[in-house]
Amino acid sequence: MENNVLGLPHDEPSRVLNITRAKELLEGIMIPPRPAILIDVLNAQAAPEVNLKRIADIISEDVALSAATLKVVNSPFFGLRVRIGSIHHSVRLLGVNNVVNIATGLMLRTAFSDLSGWFMDRFWASSSRLALYAALIGRTCTSIPPDELYTLGLFCNCGIPILLRRYPAYKELYTEALEQSERSVSEIEEAELMTDHTVVGYMLAQQWQLPDLLSHCILRHHDTRDYYTDAQEENRDSLQRLAVILTAQHIEHMITYQIPSFEWKMVGGAVQAFLGLDADALASLQEEALALSEGNES
């Protein structure tokens, strides 16, 4: 692990221990490898002269991925005046980074296509909402590109399907953990499984070679430590990503359960102050997020 990527207090030795233990617990359970199409897209994106047509061609070759990407591009969040009918048009209109980030997150679904049922249906719906909420909050409170936050929202809980493969009863454990507010979700998972989905999600993000900032936000998105009140100026930009995903989680939790999560009760006030959100602004964001998700489902 790279040290202090988010500029947070140094507790990396314990994190390394947790990751080593997770690898032992998950022995025999395959973390999905980086998809070949993602490798091709990222290689094309990293070329000295970026070929937009080539990148659009690669994504378009996967019919399911292309369709899912276009659904997101045409969602109410982007507010486009015209309906986009092709990946090539998307790349020209939104830019290659936007489209690649969206497509990368959507590849998760293919990676876990062996899992189905009510729990996974709820998982994918929740991931989509978190992605929308994170992009909305970021657009309102930060200068971080919305597509980057959208990808973070899709990936932040990516460790959950891996734990489901390892522990068939995990769906009940996770569902019950969300419905209470006396301990954090990751603390409950750690007590029962000796690992948690943030650590496992970090492992997947590293294997897929996602950016370090994104990987470390995945690792810490259920942390209950106040990193925000005394944040150093040089760390504010990186910490904004973590604050945004915590706020997106809070909005998702309030809409679903009508009570704040344990994590928000512990650090929500500090996160709000850090992002410059008063109670009215947060309530307005929640209303906008609910309308946005309902529009995306229609």
Of 99-103, 171-175, 213-217, the range with the highest mean pLDDT is 171-175
How far is Cα 141 from Cα 122, in angstroms, rounded to an integer?
28
CB 155 within 8 A of CB 105: yes
**Torsional sign, CA 133, 219, 224, 237:** negative
Minimum mean pLDDT among 19-33, 43-57, 231-245: which range? Answer: 19-33
Summarize pLDDT for 139-158 with one digit per residue, the tens.
Answer: 899 988 888 898 899 999 99
Across the chain, mean pLDDT equals 86
Q: Is the confidence at residue 18, as pLDDT, over 80?
A: no
Tell the residue number behind the tokens 């489209």, with chain if given: 99
pLDDT at 75: 77
Q: Is the confidence at residue 244, as pLDDT, over 90?
A: yes
CATH of domain 13-28+115-297: 1.10.3210.10
Q: Where are the domains of the chain?
A: 13-28+115-297, 33-111
pLDDT at 93: 82
Q: Is the confidence at residue 117, as pLDDT, over 90?
A: yes
Helices (DSSP H) in the chain: which residue ranges? 12-25, 36-46, 52-61, 63-73, 87-94, 96-111, 118-141, 146-155, 159-166, 170-178, 185-193, 197-207, 212-220, 236-257, 262-275, 279-297
Summarize pLDDT for 52-89 with one digit per residue, the tens.
Answer: 889 999 999 989 889 988 888 887 766 677 888 999 99
Q: What is the mean pLDDT of residues 222-251?
A: 91
pTM: 0.86
Summarize pLDDT for 260-295 with one digit per residue, the tens.
Answer: 999 999 999 999 999 999 999 999 999 999 887 776
Contacts for 142-148: CB closer than 8 Å, 24+ residues apart: 142/240, 142/244, 142/275, 144/237, 144/240, 144/241, 144/244, 145/97, 145/98, 145/101, 146/77, 146/98, 147/94, 147/97, 147/98, 147/99, 147/101, 147/102, 148/101, 148/214, 148/241
pLDDT at 99: 86
**Rounded to the nearest 10 degrees, what angle do helices 170-178 and 236-257 cross at?**
90
